[in-house]
Structure 1
Amino acid sequence: MKKNAATQISMLLIAVALLAPAVQAALVVDAGDDLSVLAGEPVTVLAACNDTDGIDLLNLSAFIDWGTVRTPAEILADDEQNATIQATHRYPVAGIYTVTVAVENNATGNVTTDSLNVTVNPQTAAVEVAPGLLNQKSRGFMTVFVSVSEWLGFAEADEANVTIADPSIFTIGNATPAKVNYCMKDGGTFILKYRRADVAPLAAEGNLTVNGSAVTEDGNVTVIGRGAVSLIEPGNGKGPSPGNPEGHPLAERVKERTKNENAFRDRERSSGT
């Protein structure tokens, strides 16, 4: 009786094995870790590909969806079962992009994908604000010096093919410059004059953030810079305020403002404006 039961179990296991589908060869893609790059500079994706049935370069094709455009990718065999998928792209505009790597077996039509994120940070410009002391209700103009020498020929870009977009697009919040000059001294400096009334509400944290762009063969490259500025409230100068937390007397603050304005005039004279 026990022998018959054992025989029945063995026959059942054989039947199950015959009915079970054959294990398919697995094509696996690993896009790799998230990446970070500056606007306009190249970002290279190196994805790993594994096929348990063996890497057949004649029957495999790959492409990468960069989030803005889809391009073919190169497949380089590492050994019989592993390969590297690689391609390079440039993002002129700052942001976070989802990049999808896809590998297709042309013989079976099977497509395998994996994704990663690319964070594109703006190029950094050196920014100087004069005068550095700003009254919330002051009138007239504040001058912002934007040095372009550091990013006009940023890495991998041909400086001869990089030009400056309309300087009026260099904004501080919603404020645009009322006047624009350009000085070639020290590699190039934009001299942008903003109405104080427009930028004063934006200086509460002690900085003015300037956004702009440069024109390259890959498009308008995002540029950002921050300049320090002190904000004071109008009043009699007694007691602390958001722009005067130590409560310095008005005379001291006027003296500091005069010092800043003298430095500003010296800077403009040296720039030839």
Structure 2
Amino acid sequence: MRIKSKLNIPMLMLVPIITLLVVIIVIPGIWAIILSFSQYTPGSTPVFNGIQNYVQIIRDRFFKNALVNNLIFVVAVVALEFIIGLGSALLLNRKFPLQKLWVSLLIAPYCISEVVACVMWRYMLDPSYGFVNYALSFLGLGPIAWFGTAVSSFIGVIIVTVWKNFPFIMIIAYSALTAMPQEVIEATKIDGANRLQTFRFVVYQLIKPALLVGLTFRIIFALREFGIIWILTEGGPAGGTEILPIYLYRQTFRYYEFGRGAATTTIMLIITILISVPLVRRIYKGMYEKIY
């Protein structure tokens, strides 16, 4: 009896966190899925309407625009964050003066509030007195109205998002690089491998599981990005920067179509699962191969 009670202690300690997850994630998620099959506005009773919400959303040109923008946004942002983050980590992994200071400086954007970062970048990208246009003037480029057209607004939003979030990949890559056994690197040098071969066949393979974890999280977060885009452009101009979370916000809190908003949430969940599950399987496959 004493052995059984000791075995049950860990399970009992998990009960509070499991209960919390059920209350704040599982129950609202199930309710959102149920609501997606209903016609509902605040103050009224939900009326079941089948898949009508999904049909209306799929036929909505604004949804199609938001979906395309969302996919382009995720690809561009995550790719740039991966390149800049991994490159920064590789540079920081080399010994040089004031290394810890540079690590702190590069992590700083990730620690800044989204509101503060967006306000700062709005001033920096201002076409009249912004620092970015002032710097571009030395290259012979005229002032750019960063938030004046759909294309320039989209580029501006990507710049701010990458600047704000690339330290996430950098931290993961830098931690993996510092934990990497140096004996393996020395062995490759003895075997005559150059730097590119060492990185491609040894370093990258060792840190790949950590990078895949970081990429998975960043893809999920980028799919659901809201704050930066809403503060900078509110999805404009003319829907040029509107992505699915912005579309969801408008349907739910501007037009009070809670059923269509819930359907949009469900579609976003399905897209997230379709993208993240293969990455998670690849992570576990890599871990399994390493163990066995």
| Bigger fraction of residues in helix | 2
**TM-score of the pair, normalised by structure 1:** 0.20
| Bigger fraction of residues in strand | 1
**TM-score of the pair, normalised by structure 2:** 0.19
- Structure with the larger RCO, 1 or 2 (CA within 8 Å, 6+ apart): 2
Q: Based on CA coordinates, which of the two structures has the bigger radius of gyration?
A: 1
